[in-house]
Each structure stands twice: as C-alpha cells, then as structure tokens.
Chain A
Amino acid sequence: DSGVTQTPKHLITATGQRVTLRCSPRSGDLSVYWYQQSLDQGLQFLIQYYNGEERAKGNILERFSAQQFPDLHSELNLSSLELGDSALYFCASSMGGSDEQFFGPGTRLTVL
C-alpha cells in the first residue's frame, strides 16, 4: 500500500458524459501527478500540481482538467468522453517537486 488513495476504483459511463476522478496523496506529500495508461499509448503523463499550483503539463487533452485543493487532494475532470478515453488513470504523489513518485491503485474508466 503506497498511501495514495484513488476513488472510484471503476467507472463505467457513456460517450459525451463527464466524470471526476479523485486522488488523496500520501500524508505530507505536496505534489500530485496524473497519468493515463492505455493499451495503445502506454503510460502517459498528464499533469502535475505542487501545493495547489499547476507545475507541469503533458499531453493532456483540452477536454480534461485537474485541480489540487487546499487539503492537497486532487481531482481530474474528464468531459465530452469518447471511446478512446477508456483507460486506467493513475494518481501519484511525491514529497516535493522532484522526488520519487508513489502511485495509487488507479481508476479504471470504461466509456461505452
């Protein structure tokens, strides 16, 4: 158990819908990262937040957005969902901005 929690574990929804994935970092960690794992793209970095501020951005679609709240938990919002958005979404956290990252168990999103 890494100490990073993610909810929900599974999410099934329809195309065009909007979902929110939630992540709570390890106690004391200030950075939160979001990654997408799919069969065709592999593990891809989406976005990083550090103490509430966006720190780095990867190939995150405009339909996707994230934020980190004052209690340091983070949410990833995915809207206008497409079939290709079906994937495993991981959250990771680290103490600072450049330390090793600890991953949560992931949220499996299925878009039908």
Chain B
Amino acid sequence: AQSVTQPDIHITVSEGASLELRCNYSYGATPYLFWYVQSPGQGLQLLLKYFSGDTLVQGIKGFEAEFKRSQSSFNLRKPSVHWSDAAEYFCAVGGFTGGGNKLTFGTGTQLKVEL
C-alpha cells in the first residue's frame, strides 16, 4: 500500500529565510510524486510534480523538490520565503495501479512566516 509521511506538522520561518519541508513515501514501484499547497478556505494548488527523469524538479512560485529514491524522500525547498507562502503544504504519491490513479496524501505541514 502506498503511504506518505510528513513529519513536521508545523514549521515557522522568518521571511527571507530558506525553507525545506520533508516528505517520505512508500510505494511499490516508481512513484509519481506531487506537492500541493492549500491556502485557508481554498482548494489545492499543484506546486510541482515528479514523474521520471531529472530528480530535481522546478515548480511554480520559486519552489523546487528533489526526488531521492535511496531515501524514499521528496523534500520541498525554497531559497527565500515570502509572507504570502504561509499556507498548508501537502505531499502526495500516486501511481497507475489496478487501472486507477488515486493520490495518497500526507497529513500536511502548516507553514507560518514571521515578518
């Protein structure tokens, strides 16, 4: 069964500081990996995705993530955080199994940005 662990429930960073959100996954084959962001009262916005190829993927809003197969990780990074980045971030794993394509989400990391 596929699963995702986001070990940090809450993270607080200062504006302008760098950010790394951790994500570990469990999946039997080559996974599809995603990061989504959810602002209060909003839906989920796709930040970036990894399907195959280059293990460092670039996304929107200056975010990037690195796929490390040996560590079963897909950590999200941003070199300089802006106050508008405050939101909840979800890592998800998906794959084409049994004819379907469900996403399994982590429990999320709530990011607070101090000005």
B103 to chain A, nearest CB (A): 6
Task: Give the size range of B's interface with the partner.
Answer: 20 to 34
Contact A2 B43 (CB under 8 A): yes
Q: Which of B54-87 contact A (CB under 8 A)?
A: none
Point out the residues of chain A lying under 8 angstroms from B103, CB to CB: 33, 35, 45, 92, 101
Q: Name the prevailing secondary structure of the A interface residues.
A: strand
- A52 on interface, CB distance cutoff 8 Å: no
B90 proximal to A (CB < 8 A): yes
CA distance A55 to B97 in the complex (A): 10
Instruction: A42-B108, A97-B101 given; name 19 further pairs at CB < 8 Å.
Output: A33-B101, A43-B90, A48-B101, A48-B102, A55-B101, A56-B99, A56-B102, A57-B100, A92-B44, A94-B101, A97-B96, A97-B99, A98-B95, A100-B32, A100-B49, A101-B94, A102-B46, A103-B36, A103-B46
**Can you offer 30 A-B residue contacts whose CB atoms are under 8 A?**
A2-B45, A4-B43, A33-B102, A35-B103, A42-B107, A43-B105, A43-B108, A48-B101, A55-B99, A55-B101, A56-B99, A56-B100, A56-B102, A58-B102, A90-B43, A90-B44, A92-B103, A97-B99, A97-B100, A98-B96, A99-B101, A100-B34, A100-B46, A100-B49, A101-B103, A103-B36, A103-B46, A104-B43, A105-B42, A106-B43
